Amino acid sequence: MLLPAPGAAAQGAPVAGVQTHLLWSDVDAAEVDRQLDAVEVAGAKMMRVDVGWSSLQENSSDRWSTWYLDKLDRLVADADARGIDLLLTITWTPCWASSAPDSLRQNCSGSWWQRGVQYYPPRDASDYGNAVAFLADRYRGRVAGWEIWNEPNSDSYFRTSNQVREYVALAKAAYPAIKQADPATTVVAGSLSRSDFRFTADLYRAGIQGSFDAFSVHPYCDDRSPLDAFSGQSAEYSFIRGVPAVRDEMLSRGDDKPLWLTEFGWNTSDVRNSEAWRNGVSQATQAEYLKKAFAQVSKWDYVPVGIWFGLKDTSSNLSESWSNFGLERFDGSHKASYAAFREAASTMAAPPAEDPPPADDPPPADDPPPADDPPPTDDPPPVDDPLTEIELDADRAVGAVNLKGHTPENDTINLKARRYHRHKGRYKTAFKRRIPVSGPADFDELVQRYALTHKRWRLKAKLRESGEKTILYLHGSDVPDETTPAP
């Protein structure tokens, strides 16, 4: 996935992603593979997965649950094999670290998770920072982003008398720890329920600025269209008004970081005429709203990522609102929204238009009769003719591609990256990027993609106007070097 450099607003085409719950205890290995295949076929370039700190370090700060790490290892490897970037959301506090009252903790005896102990922030934020740093180091260069907690502005997920203070503490502990472990990854903070611009402002006032690479919100708008401004009500409850409202708060603080939408969607439950946040919509309406939402995301140049919640319904009970947001039904069959997502993802990832083929040369005309030679004239002074040049190199440690060269006129670099798939025995296009350059001048452009840190790649850069091009092969450590590049 193409991500902006830390501190910069989004550039290039936005990415369509989807939420899954592949680490839940009721999802077996076969279902993990099936859902990963469904994500790949749907064209999602990113997958958000919730990771339970409470499962990762269930008993103490120095003991790691090997069974849970094994599941996470397989998830990272299997997503990578399919070319799917991961956003891992680290949430839920283990009992030993929780700030839950003693009446709930009860010395961590029995099934403490059934008492809601995990919903409280840790007593010491550094315990959380150490845990996410451990994961960032373990999966260095293989995870596109780490999201700090989930919906800290909701009592359902973050129970404390001061949500702002406790969340800022988490971000300040996690951000430097993650960046030290993997400088190239993206740390995402916020993860706010709805487009809560007021809570965003409170976080900035409490000092969160500088402790993330991207900010995230979940701009749900109940059973209304994403294009419904919901006039007369708070922008927090409108998709089309809420996202810009959060952006405005960021800009008012001088912060031009990207804004990720890490959850949004509409449920297809049978609930009607209830509170708006509970109401479902028809499956046809869900598909329609999905297409409108992603079309709107494409218009916001500061939003590089939009993630649909979620891939699959978590229950067959149609009276449960939160169980029916999926592109798939509980039995794995597709709703209309699955095809709609595939269409939206394809549209968002569409490459720049190819140059038209050159026209055939006209047939040669008969030579005209010779004319008298004109009198000789002095040769005009030579004119400098700057050459068009383009070079490609890569820094695999950080997943960066550098394009350098010179153009005598305004031009556009078309960059195509193709990754080698061993199970298919061929290269397959992973992403494309179109970069305008001004001339006459030298250019030096940087493109970053975390997947470039490993595996085998073929990179091609071409200047559209001049036709000048160059190709670079990156060889993965897990495959033999090739003497003759594959086409």
Where the chain has pLDDT below 70, the residues are 1-12, 351-387, 398, 421-426, 448-451, 453, 476-487
pLDDT per residue over 388-434, tens digit each? 778 888 877 767 788 888 888 888 888 888 877 655 556 777 777 77
3-state DSSP call for residue 419? strand
Provide the pLDDT for residue 351: 59
- Bridge-based pairing state of the strands 400-407 and 389-395: antiparallel
Does this model's pTM top 0.85? My answer is: no
Identify the CATH number of the domain defined by range 15-348. Answer: 3.20.20.80
Provide the pLDDT for residue 485: 36
Distances (CA, A) of 185 to 41, 322, 338, 373: 25, 31, 29, 70
CA–CA distance, 269 with 313 (Å, rounded to integer): 10
Provide the pLDDT for residue 194: 98
Provide the pLDDT for residue 473: 79
Helix/strand number for the chain, H first, E second: 10, 15
Contact predicate 197/246, CB 8 Å: yes
Provide the pLDDT for residue 115: 97
pLDDT per residue over 48-97, tens digit each? 999 999 999 999 999 999 999 999 999 999 999 999 999 999 999 999 99
The full set of domain ranges for the chain reads 15-348, 389-474
Q: Which CATH class is domain 389-474?
A: mainly beta
